[in-house]
Structure 1
Amino acid sequence: MRIAELSRQTGVPVPTIKYYLREGLLPAGELTSPNQAHYGEGHLHRLRLVRAMVEVGGLSIAAVRDVLGALDDPEKSLHRAMGTVETAVVGTGLVSDDEVAYEQAREFVTRQGWAYRPRSHAFQSLVGVLASARDIGLDSFPDQLDGYARACEPLAAQDLDYVMTAPTKDAAMEIVAVGTVLGDAALVAVRRLARRELSSRRDPVEREPGKPAAVGLGSGKPGPAEPGCVEDE
């Protein structure tokens, strides 16, 4: 297929596809003339992966390049690939040298019985979060972490079980790469939906007898936002 067809099937504009080609996120097509190239199903699939990581996951071009590098590395294990993907998704996080926050993070992972890896991006990101909480006076915020751990261990197990359903290592690597990006985005969305639902149930105004049902309920279509109602967090 020509680049215009590649654009039509994926919804990615031609200039963006050319940019991805220049950045090495897509392999070059097969030249059919000095100014034209042919693209196959592999290009179509890779372009959809890139689009998902950029548009849904919000990854930078550099991060996408790192993820694709892990995906294409035949020597990289699934565990190491996951580490590369998480580094690309999370980045360095809110790095901090706050010693109190560092100790809070260390005590937390030790309390869970997890391996203590102070150089990991996830650990450093947690230290940064705890330091920020301390800076704004949320001294009780670390008390939330044990509850987060209880919720996240089954989620992590579910993620890993999903990877193991892949029929080949290549397919598993793809799930690790794109599934991490999409899974994180989905988790944030579901958490917000759940929090909004529980907040509505606990709000005495929302539970007021005789209050009309939410607009659009049952139709499958969103209605207009209620006055004073925060739709998005």
Structure 2
Amino acid sequence: MRISELSRRSAVPTATIKYYLREGLLPPGRATAATQAEYDESHLRRLRLVRALIGVRGLSVNDTREVLGAVAEHAGERHQVLGLVLGARPVEETVEEAETEAAAPEPGAAEVDALIGELGWEVSEYAPARAVLGETLETLRSLGAGLDRAALRGYAELAERTAVLDLDQLDPEADPLEQAERALLCTVLMEPALLALRRLAQENESARREG
């Protein structure tokens, strides 16, 4: 397909596609003339993923390039690809960074580690969500609203069921880049909807309890 067709099918302006080509976010097409090239379905899939990484996840061009490079290294590993695209896996971890984190554990890290161990979850030790959860638990505790272990486990089990629904939305036969794009869109764009559903459910439960 020509670049105009690639633009039409991806809903990305031609000028933006040319910019992505210059920045190395898209591989060059097959040259058919001095100023013309042909593109295929792989370009379309990658372009849609680039659009999702920049427009939905909010990554910079440089960060997107790094993520795409890491995705290429793990092209045959769907679990790793999804983790990289969703930010659950770091693009790279230096020895110095690992040693610094080990020497200065994040707030609430021990509690998060214990919970993950109880649940039997397989989670990367570098997953950013670990730090977010630990900091949140520490803040709740400092305000006198800490969660006991039973309550915390209940929320975790609810999240586990939500994760099953999330991954059920992915077509196991789809190309890994298509899966990654859909996972990113569903995760980021569904989060406000999940929060809204929680608020509605809270109102309903309060009304039910109060009669």
TM-score by length of 1: 0.64
Name stretches of at least 5 consecutive residues in structure 1 with no aligned partner. 205-233
CA displacement 1:145-200 (0-9 Å, x = unmatched):
3232111212333445555x5237xx2x3355223312312431331231342355
**Count of matched residue pairs:** 197
Contact 1:81/1:176, CA 8 A, preserved across alignment = no
Asked if residue 107 in structure 1 is aligned to residue 110 in structure 2, the reply is no
What RMSD, in angstroms, separates the aligned Cα atoms of the two structures?
Answer: 3.7
Amino acid at match of 1:41: E
CA displacement 1:187-231 (0-9 Å, x = unmatched):
313312313423554677xxxxxxxxxxxxxxxxxxxxxxxxxxx
What does 1:1-233 correspond to in 2, within 5 Å?
1-73=1-73, 76-87=76-87, 97=104, 101-114=108-121, 118-133=125-140, 137=143, 139-140=145-146, 145-160=152-167, 165-167=171-173, 171=175, 173-174=176-177, 176-201=179-204
* TM-fit CA distance, 1:41: 3.3
Q: Which has the higher contact order (CA 8 A, sep 6+)?
A: 2
Contact 1:10/1:47, CA 8 A, preserved across alignment = yes
* Distance in 2, Cα, partners of 1:55 & 1:159: 21
* Distance in 1, Cα, partners of 2:205 & 2:37: 59
Change (3 A) 1:50 1:75: closer
Contact 2:2/2:38, CA 8 A, preserved across alignment = yes
* TM-fit CA distance, 1:67: 4.2
Percent identity between matched residues is 35
Task: Extract structure 1 runs of 4+ deviating beyond 6 A.
Answer: 88-92
TM-score by length of 2: 0.69
Q: Helix, strand or coil for the counterpart of 2:161?
A: helix
Change (3 A) 1:125 1:27: same
* Distance in 1, Cα, partners of 2:181 & 2:154: 27
Write 1 or 2 for the structure with the bigger share of helix. Answer: 2
